[in-house]
Amino acid sequence: MLVFERRREPSKFWTAITPVLAVLVTLIAGGILFAILGKNPVEAIKTIFWAPIFDPNLSAYARPQILVKAAPLVLIAIGLSIGFKANIWNIGAEGQYIMGAILGGGVALAFYPLEAWWIFPLMIVSGIVGGIAWAMIPALLKIKFKTNEILVSLMLVYVSEHFLASVSLGLLRNPDGVGFPGSRNLQHYVSASNGELFAGTGIHLGVIVAFVSIFALYGLIRFHRLGFQVRVTGQSVRISRFAGVNPNLMIIFCLAAGGGLAGLAGIFELSGPAGLLSIDFNVGYGFTAIIVAFLGRLNPFGIALAALLMSLTYIGGDLAQFMLNLPAAAIQALQGMLLFFLLSMDFLSQYRISIKHWARG
């Protein structure tokens, strides 16, 4: 019979190989799903995973778009992964992303139509501050009242969504918008516009910063004392005290890292690809980034790969919709399968599977 033995430590080999396996199994299961829907599975998989990178007509545009779509995921996941390593669970990055965009965008719009070089950096810093401030609510409540940061940060997402609706319809509503909701478009406000850096690619400053953050996190975790403290805290808060870690400061640091980077992603997205604050400004990057962080095993380079993969499924998914008439729900199911298989395959790194015969007596 099959016997599962818990490994003393997770297997390094399986930890590295399971994401690849999960992707392969997802491709097979996804193919079966598409076949059930009456589509050619090979063609569907090819359209989602191949066409955005290699199709002669579409790839020139789609390739850089993969990076653009991955950028906010990378930024947020990098920030979250610091907390996750320390067992501090910030689930509310979506809200911090929204608040970063509102504060950053609000500050920029407060100066409209003034044109000055300092508006852009001020806007970016305000975005970070907005994200951090929103993340400080669960941090301080946790320190003061021992509340659960998972619940508090998650609930604050819904609060921030109402806040977003409120400013889109009130405070930041475009006065020239004929009564419709939504702010002015920052793409048309030169001093606050986070425009594309290379013509026709859509690549903006946020994409560059996202990829710099990967190396920054690597450096932090690997070489800085703080990285060591984060890891120790993750193993045991008690032990971390002996290592000279102040657990309260650690809570603040981890939530600030997640909130700040989420806020940064929000303001880059607002001033760049999205352009304007509206009721539906947030599209779930804060939640998808949690998946990305785990798909990437909380490793900075893993996170980058995971974000690129998720981004690819979004862009390929759009193509599959209008080229093959696949429903959007089928694409979402495919993305869900990816996470499911990854988590279920974690079993392999935690347990050793062996075949044993019944022993008599």
Segment contacting another protein (CB under 8 A): 8-16, 190-198, 317-325, 344-352? 317-325
Three-state DSSP at 354 gives strand
Q: Which positions from 194 through 253 interact with another protein, judged by CB under 8 A?
A: 202
Name residue 159's amino acid. V
How far apart are CB 29 and another protein at their closest, in Å?
A: 22
Segment contacting another protein (CB under 8 A): 62-70, 120-128, 208-216, 295-303? 62-70
| Binder among 38, 179, 244, 361 for another protein (CB under 8 A) | 179
| Binder among 61, 112, 228, 340 for another protein (CB under 8 A) | 61
- 165 lines the binding site for another protein (CB under 8 A): yes
Which has the closest alpha carbon to 239: 179, 231, 304? Answer: 231
Enter the tokens of residue 354. Answer: 């062996």
Inter-residue contact 243 to 232 (CB < 8 Å): yes
Measured from the CB atom, the residue of 95 and 302 that comes closer to another protein is: 95
Segment contacting another protein (CB under 8 A): 125-133, 163-171, 207-215, 257-265? 163-171
Measured from the CB atom, the residue of 298 and 319 that comes closer to another protein is: 319
Inter-residue contact 209 to 61 (CB < 8 Å): no
Radius of gyration of the chain (CA): 22
Segment contacting another protein (CB under 8 A): 18-26, 238-246, 253-261, 326-334? 326-334
Q: How far apart, in whole angstroms, are the C-alpha atoms of residue 71 and residue 73?
A: 5
Q: How far apart, in whole angstroms, are the C-alpha atoms of residue 270 and residue 289?
A: 17
- 327 lines the binding site for another protein (CB under 8 A): yes
How far apart are CB 126 and another protein at their closest, in Å?
A: 20
The four Cα atoms 66, 121, 125, 258 give a dihedral, to 10 degrees, of: 20
What is the phi/psi pair of residue 355, to 5°?
A: -105, 125
- 329 lines the binding site for another protein (CB under 8 A): yes
Q: How far apart, in whole angstroms, are the C-alpha atoms of residue 356 and residue 5?
A: 11
Q: Judging by beta carbons within 10 Å of its beta carbon (0-12, 13-18, 19+), is residue 21 exposed, middle or buried?
A: middle
Inter-residue contact 41 to 29 (CB < 8 Å): no
- 23 lines the binding site for another protein (CB under 8 A): no
- 166 lines the binding site for another protein (CB under 8 A): yes
How far apart are CB 329 and another protein at their closest, in Å?
A: 7
Could you list the residues that contact another protein (CB under 8 A)?
57-58, 61-62, 65, 68-69, 162, 165-166, 169-170, 173, 178-182, 185, 187, 202, 269, 272-276, 278-281, 283, 314-315, 318-319, 321-323, 325, 327-329
